[in-house]
């Protein structure tokens, strides 16, 4: 389950009973924390990621905690695969109320050394993937005249980050995509928002090493890294039925990093 500090405050509670949520990149990290949080609040969660084995672990953990989850292995950059997943979720679970586009990859290097493949892979997963899923779920959501879509962006897409031209571009594009689709779907009672995490404790940040991590923490006004469950809490707020007038927004969860 998602890690919480020893003195964690009471968690946000939202009644999602009867709702079906699709979460991409659900096999680990932020995606897993989001999936577990939505399940803990009553949603049936369709877990999407490339690794069937890792999805099985997450699904087992959710079921052990009393929730319900189904696994849908998929490469989010492939249009036919995404369409098949959305059709499969509707066929198996009856509807789709929530979509969280969290799947993402990094291939960091400075611009002069960045290959075409490194650029294409990041844009395909981080930007094409959310486009494909939003397009696919828009039809069932419009038919039921209800939906909540949350895209996991990044502060790198808001301020840029050296060595991440591909990643920052993909996340900046995701912010623009979020705001545009929000305006297109608002009349059907479908909200579309983004969450932009800052530095979040993960395997990727741990690989930076203790010296660099200390420097990162000094830059963050909160003087610590965020936790995956804190991003999940922001997502939970945005997908709540009561958040129907909140759309086309980017919620930055970064400990005050970019102000």
Q: Tell me the per-residue pLDDT of 221-252, one tens digit each, with 9 for 90 and over.
A: 999 999 999 999 999 999 999 999 999 999 99
Give the model's pLDDT for residue 208. 77
Over the stretch 160-190, which tens digit does the pLDDT of each residue have?
999 999 999 999 999 999 999 999 999 999 9
Catalytic-labelled residue, pool 167, 171, 173, 230: 167
Into how many domains does the chain fold? 1
Q: Is residue 71 part of a domain?
A: yes
Cα–Cα distance between 123 and 104 in angstroms, integer?
9
Active site residue 146: no
Over the stretch 50-76, which tens digit does the pLDDT of each residue have?
999 999 999 999 999 999 999 999 999
Give the model's pLDDT for residue 238. 98
Over the stretch 11-48, which tens digit does the pLDDT of each residue have?
999 999 999 999 999 999 999 999 999 999 999 999 99
Q: Is residue 49 part of a domain?
A: yes
Q: Is residue 13 part of a domain?
A: no
Give the model's pLDDT for residue 104. 96
Q: Is residue 258 part of a domain?
A: no
Residue 1 has pLDDT above 70, yes or no: no
Give the model's pLDDT for residue 20. 98
Q: Is residue 214 part of a domain?
A: no
Enclosing domain of residue 180: 20-198+227-252
CATH number of the domain that 134 lies in? 3.40.50.720
Is 65 within 8 Å of 1 (Cβ atoms)? Answer: yes
Cα–Cα distance between 159 and 76 in angstroms, integer?
26
Q: Is residue 5 part of a domain?
A: no
Give the model's pLDDT for residue 259. 75
Question: What is the pLDDT confidence band of residue 7, given thresholds at 50, 70 and 90?
Answer: low
Q: Is residue 12 part of a domain?
A: no
Is 170 within 8 Å of 123 (Cβ atoms)? Answer: yes
Over the stretch 69-89, which tens digit does the pLDDT of each residue have?
999 999 999 999 999 999 999
């Amino acid at each position: 389950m998602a890690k919480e500090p020893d003195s964690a405050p009471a968690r946000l509670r939202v009644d999602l009973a009867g709702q079906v949520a699709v979460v991409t990149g659900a096999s680990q990290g932020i995606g897993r924390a989001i999936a577990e949080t939505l399940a803990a609040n009553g949603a049936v969660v369709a877990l999407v990621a490339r690794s069937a084995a890792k999805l099985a672990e997450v699904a087992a953990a959710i079921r052990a905690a009393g929730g319900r989850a189904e696994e849908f292995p998929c490469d989010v950059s492939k249009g036919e695969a995404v369409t098949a997943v959305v059709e499969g979720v509707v066929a198996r679970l009856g509807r789709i109320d929530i979509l969280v586009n969290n799947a993402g990859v990094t291939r960091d290097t400075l611009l002069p050394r960045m290959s075409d493949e490194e650029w294409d892979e990041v844009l395909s997963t981080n930007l094409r993937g959310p486009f494909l899923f939003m397009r696919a779920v828009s039809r069932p959501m419009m038919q039921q005249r209800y939906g909540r879509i949350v895209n996991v962006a990044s502060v790198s897409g808001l301020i840029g980050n050296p060595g991440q031209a591909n990643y920052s571009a993909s996340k900046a594009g995701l912010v623009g995509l979020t705001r545009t689709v929000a305006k297109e779907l608002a009349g059907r009672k479908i909200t579309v928002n983004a969450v932009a995490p800052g530095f979040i404790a993960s395997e990727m940040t741990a690989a930076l090493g203790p010296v660099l991590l200390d420097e990162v923490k000094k830059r963050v006004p909160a003087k610590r890294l965020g936790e995956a469950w804190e991003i999940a809490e922001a997502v939970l707020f945005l997908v709540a039925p009561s958040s129907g007038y909140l759309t086309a927004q980017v919620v930055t969860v970064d400990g005050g990093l970019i102000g």
